[in-house]
Every structure is written in structure tokens, then in C-alpha cells.
Amino acid sequence: MEWEDDAFVLSARAFGETGAIVELLTEHHGRFAAHVAGGASRRMKPVLQPGAQVVAQYRARSSDQLGGATLEPVGEGPSALFDDPLALAGLAAAASVAVGALPEREPQPGVFLAFGALVQTLALTDLWPAVFVKFEAGLLEALGFGMDLSRCGATGATDDLIYVSPRTGRAVSRGAGEPYKDRLLRLPPFLLGAQAGLQAGDIGDGFALTGAFLQRHVFDPLNRPLPPARVWLLDKLRDANRL
């Protein structure tokens, strides 16, 4: 089994004295694990940071075994964000969510493109947290758990949608949701259209919304909590008054 593909590094852990097991998000092969010889070396360390973009050449004797890969870096990678710890935390959180949520070896080209879009926006301080929320919403959709935000699930109305039902994942209008608002999730306007601006609390509402459905549909069935890196990111955003 051999292939070459564009990829992002999601995680890396030491294997043996000199190697590493690397989780990749590839464009055409999905989440893929591979052994990288020499992955523990100082030269390879920058290449194996979460979010680093690479060209991966993979080879295995059979499709059901762990193969080896060589990785060629593309662009600066996470080193361009070394002066922005919050953006680096966002990158680590996105990678950890992808590792935890995506099934192995199942092509997800849309998720690959969305991850790449998030990486490109991390230098835009005021923008990337909203893009992160949209990345998680897209990830849910790719996994078959997308939210229906097109109209009110109770009345069919398309205006004044400000809630989401935690049970159905469908939007709820202000009027229909008012009697039950304490049991509904807030729907931030930026998830309804690119023209909507960001208001105070929107980012926090967005993370709460996608986090609730990631926990229910993805991590609960695996008996796991949301990734610690995502929890840490929210703490950092809160400390920076960004939620």
C-alpha cells in the first residue's frame, strides 16, 4: 500500500528511541497514523507540531498494518504563531478535536479544507475564534450530526432564530423558544451568515453550542470527555475576555 497526499499533522508521540507515531489529517485518505523514522530528532520536531502542513509519502506492506511515512514540510507552519500563545492554543485544540472525533482512514476532504481554512485565519486575532466554531460545526455535519439552522423546528419560521434545541439540533425562533429558553442553547448570529457581526458573548455561545453536540454525539459514545486542549483553550479565551 502506497500513497502520497497533502496533510496536516494532528499529533505525534515518541516511539522507540528515535521514531514517532504521527496522526495525520490527509486530504484524500482521512485521519491516518504512520511511523516516522527519526521523528524524535531535533530536525523533525518543528515538522511534527500540531497544525504543521506537510506532504506525506506513506508505505505499508498491507492495508491493515501501521506503515511508515516521510514528511516534507510546506510553508512556515506553526512557527509563524510562536508570538501568539492564544492562537497556538487554538491550533492545538482544533487538532485534538479532529484526532478525537474523526474515524481512522475515512476520507474527509471537506474537514481537511476546513482545517486548512482555520489554520490560515489563526493570524487574524479577531476572526479565528468564530472560524473555530464554524470548523466544529462543519465537523459535526461531516460526521452526520449537523445542526439544521435554516428554519425554526417548531414553527417553520426563518426569521429571528436565536436558539437551538439540544435534543434535535434544530433552530428555534425567539417567540417559539421563549417559554423554554432555559433549556435551549443560544444560537450566535455568525453561524447563520457571513454578514452577521460578532456581539459580546457570541463566541462563548458558539463554543457551548458545538461543544454540546460534540460531547453528545461523538465523545459520549466513546466514553470520553471533550479533549483537554479544547477545555484549556476556553479557559485561555475567557482569561483574555474573548468569550
Q: What is the 3-state secondary structure (H, E, C) of 8-34?
A: EEEEEEEECCCEEEEEEEECCCEEEEE
Looking at domain 2-78, its CATH class is: mainly beta
- Give me 234's grid cell: 476556553
100 vs 90: CA distance, rounded Å: 15
Give pLDDT, residue 195.
Answer: 72
**Positive or negative: CA dihedral 180, 153, 201, 111:** positive
**Positive or negative: CA dihedral 151, 144, 97, 231:** positive
Domains 2-78 and 83-149+187-239 agree in fold: no
Give pLDDT, residue 82.
Answer: 83
The answer for residues whose C-beta is within 8 angstroms of residue 177's C-beta and 6 or more apart is: 154, 162, 163, 184
The full set of domain ranges for the chain reads 2-78, 83-149+187-239
- Give me 190's grid cell: 455568525
23 vs 90: CA distance, rounded Å: 18
**Other residues' Cβ atoms within 10 Å of the Cβ of residue 146:** 14
75 vs 72: CA distance, rounded Å: 10
Q: Which CATH architecture has domain 83-149+187-239?
A: Up-down Bundle (1.20)
Give pLDDT, residue 75.
Answer: 84
Give pLDDT, residue 194.
Answer: 66
pLDDT in tens, the chain (243 residues): 899 999 999 999 999 889 999 999 999 999 999 999 999 888 898 899 999 999 999 999 888 889 999 999 998 878 878 889 999 999 999 999 999 999 999 999 999 999 999 999 999 999 999 999 999 999 999 999 999 999 999 999 999 999 999 999 999 999 999 999 999 999 999 999 867 778 889 999 999 999 999 999 999 999 999 999 999 999 999 999 998
Q: 73 and 54 in contact (C-beta within 8 Å)?
A: yes
In this prediction the pTM is: 0.94
